[in-house]
A and B are shown apart, each in its own frame.
Chain A
Amino acid sequence: MNNKRIDLELITSLIDKKMRVLDVGCGNGELLQSLKTKNDVIGQGLELKQERVNQCVAKGLSAIQGDADKDLSLYPDQSFDCVILSQTIQATSDPKLILKELIRIGKKAIVSIPNFGFWKVRLSLGINGRMPRTKKLIYNWYDTPNIHLCTILDFINLCNELNIQIEKTITLSSDNNKSYNGLPNKLSNLFSEEAIFLIKS
Chain B
Amino acid sequence: MTFEQNKLPCSYFTEKKSLLLENGTSIDELTVAYESYGKLNKNKTNAIIVCHALSGDQFVASKNPITEKDGWWDRMVGSGKPIDTDKYFIICANVLGGCIGSTGPTSINPNTNEAYGLSFPVITISDMVNAQLRLINNLGIEKLLSVIGGSMGGMQVLEWAASYPEKLFSAIPIATSSRHTAQNIAFHELGRQAIMADPEWNGGNYIKLGTSPTKGLSIARMTAHVTYLSETSLTKKFGRRLQDKEEVSFGFDADFQIESYLRHQGLTFVDRFDANSYLYITRAMDYFDLEKTHEKTLTEIFEKTKTRFLIASFTGDWLYPPSENLMIVRALSAGGVDVSFVNIESDKGHDAFLLDEPEFDGAMRGFLDSVSKEMNI
Name B367's contact: one of A42, A60, A66, A79 (CB within 8 Å). A60
**Of A50-58, A94-102, A114-122, A160-168, which stretch is located at the interface?**
A50-58
Besides A60-B367, A64-B329, A75-B336, 10 new A-B residue pairs in contact (Cβ under 8 A), listed by A number: A50-B342, A50-B345, A54-B359, A57-B363, A58-B359, A58-B365, A62-B308, A63-B340, A71-B330, A75-B333
B362 and A54 contact, CB distance less than 8 A: yes
Q: Number of A residues contacting the other chain (C-beta, 8 Å)?
A: 21
B344 and A54 contact, CB distance less than 8 A: yes
Once the chains are docked, how many angstroms separate the CA of A75 from the CA of B336? 7
| Chain B nearest CB, measured from A31 CB (Å) | 16
B333 and A74 contact, CB distance less than 8 A: yes
Once the chains are docked, how many angstroms separate the CA of A61 from the CA of B373? 12
| Chain B nearest CB, measured from A40 CB (Å) | 11
Q: Number of B residues contacting the other chain (C-beta, 8 Å)?
A: 25
The 8 A CB mask of B337-373 against A (1 = contact, 0 = none) is 0111111110000000000000100110111011001
Which residues of A (44-86) have their CB < 8 Å from a CB of B? 44, 50, 53-54, 56-66, 71, 74-76, 79
B338 and A62 contact, CB distance less than 8 A: yes
B340 and A62 contact, CB distance less than 8 A: yes
Scoring A42, A58, A59, A71 by chain B CB atoms within 10 A of each residue's CB, the highest score goes to A58
Chain A residues packing against B (C-beta within 8 Å): 42, 44, 50, 53-54, 56-66, 71, 74-76, 79
Residues of A with C-beta under 8 A to B339: 44, 62, 64
Minimum-distance CB pairs A-B, first 6: A60-B370, A58-B362, A58-B366, A64-B341, A57-B363, A79-B336
B367 and A57 contact, CB distance less than 8 A: yes
A76, closest chain B residue (CB)? B336
B366 and A57 contact, CB distance less than 8 A: yes
Name A59's contact: one of B308, B310, B366 (CB within 8 Å). B366
Residues of A with C-beta under 8 A to B342: 50, 53-54, 57
Whether B334 is near chain A, meaning CB under 8 Å from some CB there, is yes
Once the chains are docked, how many angstroms separate the CA of A151 from the CA of B310? 39
Residues of B with C-beta under 8 A to A42: 338
| Chain B nearest CB, measured from A38 CB (Å) | 16
| Chain A nearest CB, measured from B205 CB (Å) | 50
- Can you list 13 pairs linking A and B with CB atoms under 8 Å apart? A54-B342, A57-B340, A57-B366, A57-B367, A58-B366, A60-B373, A61-B366, A62-B340, A64-B333, A66-B333, A71-B330, A75-B336, A76-B335
B370 and A61 contact, CB distance less than 8 A: yes
A60 and B369 contact, CB distance less than 8 A: yes
| Chain B nearest CB, measured from A26 CB (Å) | 11
B336 and A58 contact, CB distance less than 8 A: no
A65 and B343 contact, CB distance less than 8 A: yes
Name B310's contact: one of A57, A74, A79 (CB within 8 Å). A57
Residues of B with C-beta under 8 A to A54: 342, 344, 359, 362-363
Once the chains are docked, how many angstroms separate the CA of A66 from the CA of B308? 18
B371, closest chain A residue (CB)? A60
| Chain A nearest CB, measured from B312 CB (Å) | 9
Residues of B with C-beta under 8 A to A56: 340
